[in-house]
Amino acid sequence: MELKVVVITGAGSGLGASLAKKYSNMGCHVCLIGRRASKLEETAKQLTNSYSIYELDVTSKSAVEKVMWSIKEEVGPIDLLINNAGLGVFDLAENISEEHVHDMIDINLKGTIFCTQEVLPSMKERNQGIIVNVVSTAGVEGKVTESVYCASKFGVRGFTESLVKELNDTGIRVFGAYMGGMKSPFWDGILTEVKMKDFMDPDDIADIIIDNAKLRKNLIVTEVVIKNKF
C-alpha cells in the first residue's frame, strides 16, 4: 500500500509537527489539523511536499464529518489517520474542574473516536488504511495528579484494542503508541525546562511510530510502549 494522503490531528506543534515533516519528506500529501491555523501554518513552512490546512475542533462530530469529507473531495481517500490531538490538565483528583474534565474526555477520547468513525467507511470500502492512536503511557498506568487524563487515555486504549479486534480480518491496521514525556509545548505552564531536560525528543518518537506503523508481510504491530530512561 502506497501512502499518499496522511491526516494528522494536533499537527501544530510537538509530535504532530514532527510526524508531518517526516511524512512530507516521504512524499505524502499531509493534511494538518488543529484548532489554530496560525500554528498549522508554522508547521507547514517546514514541509517539503504538498499539504492542506484544516482548522478543526475534534470534539464536534459534525465539524469532524465536514472536514473529513472535504479532505476526501479535495485531496483524495485518506490512507493514514494519526489521532494525535490531546490535552492534559494535572492536579489532585478533587481539584480538577468540571470544565477540564469535559475538555480532556472530549478532546482525548471523543475526538479520537469521532475522527476514526469518519475514516473507517472509506477504508473498509477499499479494504486498506492505517489508523494510529497516540495514547501515552497514561493509557497504561495510573499516575499521581493525572487521574482524569489517565481516565481519558485508558478510554483511548480500550477503543484502540477493540478496533484491532474488529478489523483483524480486514486490510486495515490499527496501531497504538504509548509513550512517556516528550519535549513539547504540551507542557507549557506545567513543567519547567529543567524538569523536561531528560524528556524524549518528538523526532525520535515520530521515527518509532512511522517504523512500527508500516505494513509488513505476515506480521502486524498493534502497540508500542516507549518509556523515558529516567
CB 138 within 8 A of CB 176: no
Q: Are 200 and 153 in contact (CB under 8 A)?
A: no
Contacts of residue 109, Cβ cutoff 8 Å, sequence gap at least 6 = 152, 153, 155, 156, 159
**Catalytic one among 23, 51, 54, 149?**
149
Contact indicator for 173, 123 with CB cutoff of 8 Å: no
Distances, alpha carbon 71 to alpha carbons 38, 191, 208, in Å? 19, 36, 26
Q: Contact at 8 Å (CB) between 109 and 162? A: no
DSSP category for residue 108:
I
Residue position matching grid coordinates 478533587 = 94
Identify whether the C-beta of residue 7 lies closer than 8 Å to the C-beta of residue 79: no
**Cell digits for 209?**
511510530
Residue 149 annotated as catalytic:
yes
Residues annotated as catalytic (active site), given as ranges: 149
